[in-house]
């Protein structure tokens, strides 16, 4: 019987927790969080999925929270989206490296 190699859910949870703890490290924080989460996810593909989930959840939360404000809400949501995408790129890069080292 084949043993399960990793968990997308635990990789996702670790990425969120480590990202919050290392928020003060602008580039290294997301890379470390992605690396650890990618290793926990068990593969490159699972690591990428686990890294994309936080960005999707945050994007939905920001959209729902700011959709009712006509102009300013759209501007703030756009800026937050750009920041989340840039943050996610580093998280995904760390997840790829972490998933490759399993």
Say yes or no to pLDDT of 28 above 90. yes
Q: pLDDT, tens digit, for every residue of 43-88?
A: 999 999 999 888 888 777 887 788 777 788 878 877 887 888 777 8
* Radius of gyration of the chain from its Cα atoms, rounded to whole angstroms: 15
- Which of the four pLDDT bands, split at 50, 70 and 90, describes residue 14? very high
pTM of the model: 0.79
Mean of the per-residue pLDDT values for the chain? Answer: 86
Q: Do residues 98 and 44 touch, judged by C-beta distance below 8 A?
A: no
Contact (Cβ atoms closer than 8 angstroms) between residue 49 and residue 8: yes
Rounded-to-integer distance, Cα 26 and Cα 78, Å: 20
């Amino acid at each position: 019987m084949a043993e399960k190699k990793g968990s997308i859910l635990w990789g996702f949870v670790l990425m969120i927790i480590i990202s919050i703890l290392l928020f003060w490290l602008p580039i290294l924080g997301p890379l470390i969080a992605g690396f650890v989460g990618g290793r926990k996810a068990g593969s490159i593909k699972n690591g990428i999925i686990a890294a994309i989930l936080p960005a999707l959840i945050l994007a939905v939360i920001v959209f729902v929270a700011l959709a009712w404000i006509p102009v300013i809400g759209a501007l703030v949501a756009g800026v937050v989206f750009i920041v989340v995408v840039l943050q996610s790129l580093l998280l995904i890069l760390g997840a790829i490296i972490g998933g490759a080292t399993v």
